[in-house]
Amino acid sequence: MSTNGRGSSEQSLGELVSGMTSNVSALVRLEVELAKSELQAQLKQGAAGGGMAVVAAALSALAVILLSVAAAFGIATWLPVWAGFLIVGGVYLIIAVILLLVGIRRMKRVKGPLRAQASVEETKTMLAARAVQRADAKAADLSVPELLEQRAEQERIQAAQAAAREAARTPSTAG
């Protein structure tokens, strides 16, 4: 009869190991998905900031051209036409500065996959705790499930002892 019990125990342990392996694999896969999702959102935000910087650069180039033409007309003719070119060039330059500042602010917000990093740290902590359990089990010459069962049994005994002490402290109201 102990052979059947032992066979089912070994099978159960194998199933536990298999389940743990598939759970860790699924956890890693989900963490990679989380990181990809966060990076995509961050890349979109960074791309918008970069796009604004490109527009700012193009407007700055246009402003330089317009300001150059205005300066040339102003020097050459001393007519009021140059003032119009100067105003338009100045407006483009102001727009370019505003877009550049907004783009820089958006690009500074890109920080990476924070939730995925936290999840990886949590997984590392859990795996480290699991390694400690394996080391404790090995030191006690037990398997991890046996060690966990032994600890659970000790906790049940301690809980029963605590309940007995509490029951001994309170007077019985039964008649």
pTM above 0.75, yes or no: no
Q: For residue 35, give every residue at least 6 positions away whose Cβ sits within 8 Å of its Cβ, in sequence order, or none.
A: 113, 116
Using one digit for the tens of pLDDT, what is the confidence trace for 38-62? 888 788 888 888 888 888 889 888 8
pLDDT for the residue 11 = 57
**C-beta neighbour count of 101 within 10 angstroms:** 12
Query: If you average pLDDT over residues 66-85, what whole number do you get?
Result: 68
Whether residue 115 contacts residue 34, with contact meaning beta carbons closer than 8 Å, is answered with yes
pLDDT tens profile 136-161: 888 888 888 888 888 888 889 998 88
How far apart, in whole angstroms, are the C-alpha atoms of residue 106 and residue 48? 8
Write the pLDDT tens digit of every residue in 81-118: 666 667 667 777 888 899 999 998 988 888 777 787 88
Using left for φ > 0, alpha for ψ between -120 and 50, and beta otherwise, residue 141 falls in left
pLDDT over threshold 60, residue 5 = no
Q: Is 170 left (phi over 0), alpha (psi -120 to 50) or beta?
A: beta
pLDDT higher at 4 or 68: 68
